Structure 1
Amino acid sequence: MRFSIITPNYNGGSFLEQAITNIISQVGDGIKLEYIIIDGGSTDCSHEIMARYSSKIAISIIEKDNGPANAINKGLALATGDVLAWLNADDLYYPGTLQRVRLAMECRPEAAICFGSCPIIDQQGKEIRQNISRFKEFFYPFSSRFTYQCINYLSQPALFFRRSAFAQAGPLREDMVAAWDYEFILRLWRCGNAVHVPDTPLAAFRWHEQSISGQNFRIQFQEEYEAARADAGRFSPQTFIHFFVRWGIVGIYSLMAWLKKRL
């Protein structure tokens, strides 16, 4: 199975080399890798790092972009793999992730999406916010398009999708600030089922103050609600549930931010 993995990068040199070595180490029996890096014109050490691994990078583009969604769209348009994904420069795959995804997708040829657990880590790689991860994992046994319209319980770094599904769903929406991945996954789910890879995590999401979710969580959950309403219908039970879920999560995040300032 051929995987196309895209890394959008802009001044992510602090983590980029770790991301590159992490991804290229996934190659093994039955795994072919097309690695694509889309750099938005970084001014840090990113280009030097990319040059050191140029033989392992199938496609690298360095040019100004209009943000991460635009960069990922450039990569998706060039991708030729059977299964596609993107992994930000500060996130990580666990050992053997692509092999486990391959086996899951081969067993479920009707599935458009493959997902797994995704712990949250800090800048040093230590797991944090375990309660949020456990909360998301609670919904895995009930996974369906209906459930996903009610609440965003999938973590993008641990999500993979078939190129055939992407061809039907279309590119990421570049007019959104923070929830373009959720809206995109809603469209992917129209193209087939989702398969869960159980047990150990597939990826880790690195949370920090400069991350998109760290800066824009109120906008993110507003955009997620609007995307769910558009996908499920204005007066659907999913939209009703999502409305209350949104305000509950925003309240919890706001409380966490307030407590952090008090400490």
Structure 2
Amino acid sequence: MRVSIVTPSYQQAPFLEATLRSVLEQDYPDLEYWVMDGGSTDGSREIIQRYAPRLAGWVSEKDRGQTDAINKGFARAQGEILAWLNSDDTYEPGAVRQAVEYLQAHPEVGLVYGDANFINAQGAAIGRFPAAQTDYRRLRQGYVHVPQQAAFFRADLWRQVGPLDPSFYFAMDYDLWVRLARLAAVAYLPGKVWANFRLHGEAKTIAADDRCWPEMLRVHRREGGSVFSVIYAKYWVRKLVGPLIRWRRRQRLRTE
């Protein structure tokens, strides 16, 4: 089974090479890799050019942001399994092979994911993403727990529910998980660390995660959800404690 991986990138030169190497050094032979750069001026283009002979293709041109870049990459993809890896995150060795093996053995599963470490700007592990098993019902309640960096899904399902909604800045992955889970089973493999989720000062998770929950509520309402629901309760709790969470994340990064 061919695997197509897309990396959207913009102005991430300090981390981009580690991302590229983590994909290209996977031990899975049938891997197609697309890099979609948004016209970076920080040296990213030169980094991509060094690895161009090993890529299925790449572009460096102005786009409409991360979601647009991912959609453009998947529009070119020929694989039966898809994933995207942001240009400041990395895969762990063996991640792609293990994901493919699981999907081959479980044809009823449309999305599989493992664990992901939180890492700092220097690449040191500083925690673990709170991954857990979820499904369509629990996703609609805001029980996400899917580390996007460690998620792989079937291309035939993508063709039914894609592309990503470009109106989402933050929750486009949550929106996709809901749409995939509506059609097929979702599987979490605990203990399988497949990726690293980098937290740094410019990361969206640090800089703008207060935009995530309102976008998730849009998905909830689209799926017929009520304001009298678990996800709305979680939203109001997160709204109250969100500033403290973001402050603690920034403090943690400063002390690592």
Q: Does TM-score exceed 0.5, indicating one fold? A: yes
Query: Which digits, 9 at most, give the CA deviation of each residue in 1:206-228, with x for residues without a partner?
Result: 11221222222111111112212
Moved more, 219-228 or 91-100: 219-228
> Which one-letter code corresponds to 1:235 in the other structure?
S
Counterpart residue number, 1:16: 16
Runs of 4+ in 1 over 4 A off after TM superposition: 258-261
* 1:248 positional shift: 2.4
Counterpart residue number, 2:7: 7
Q: Secondary structure at the match of 2:229?
A: helix
Work out the CA distance in 2 between the residues paired with 1:41 and 1:6. Answer: 16
1:177 aligns with 2:169: yes
Counterpart residue number, 2:45: 47
What does 1:1-263 correspond to in 2, within 5 Å? 1-28=1-28, 31-130=29-128, 133=129, 136-137=130-131, 139-140=132-133, 143-151=134-142, 152-231=144-223, 233-235=224-226, 240-258=229-247
Q: Secondary structure at the match of 1:191?
A: coil
> Which one-letter code corresponds to 2:26 in the other structure?
Q
TM-score by length of 2: 0.91
* 1:198 positional shift: 2.8
> Which one-letter code corresponds to 1:256 in the other structure?
I
Q: Which runs of 5+ in 2 are unaligned?
A: none
* 1:199 positional shift: 1.5
Q: Which has the higher strand share?
A: 2
Query: Does the 8 A contact of 1:27 with 1:33 survive in 2?
Result: no
Query: Which digits, 9 at most, give the CA deviation of each residue in 1:18-66, with x for residues without a partner?
Result: 11111011133xx411000001111011111111111111111121101
Moved more, 5-14 or 199-208: 199-208
What is the RMSD computed on CA atoms of the aligned residues? Answer: 1.8
Query: Does the 8 A contact of 1:213 with 1:220 survive in 2?
Result: no
> Which one-letter code corresponds to 1:76 in the other structure?
F
Q: Which has the higher helix share?
A: 1
> Which one-letter code corresponds to 1:219 in the other structure?
R
> Which one-letter code corresponds to 1:244 in the other structure?
A
* 1:179 positional shift: 1.0
Q: Secondary structure at the match of 2:122?
A: coil
> Which one-letter code corresponds to 2:139 in the other structure?
Y
Q: Secondary structure at the match of 1:66?
A: coil
Work out the CA distance in 1 between the residues paired with 2:4 and 2:59. Answer: 15
Q: For residues 257 and 110 of structure 1, do their structure 2 counterparts lie closer, same or farther at Cα, with a shift above 3 Å needed?
A: closer
Q: Secondary structure at the match of 1:5?
A: strand
> Which one-letter code corresponds to 1:8 in the other structure?
P
Query: Does the 8 A contact of 1:104 with 1:197 survive in 2?
Result: no
Q: Which runs of 5+ in 1 are unaligned?
A: none
Q: What is the identity percentage for the equivalent residue pairs of Structure 1 and Structure 2?
A: 32
Aligned length: 250
> Which one-letter code corresponds to 2:141 in the other structure?
C
Query: Which digits, 9 at most, give the CA deviation of each residue in 1:57-106, with x for residues without a partner?
Result: 11111211010000000001110001001001110111100111011101
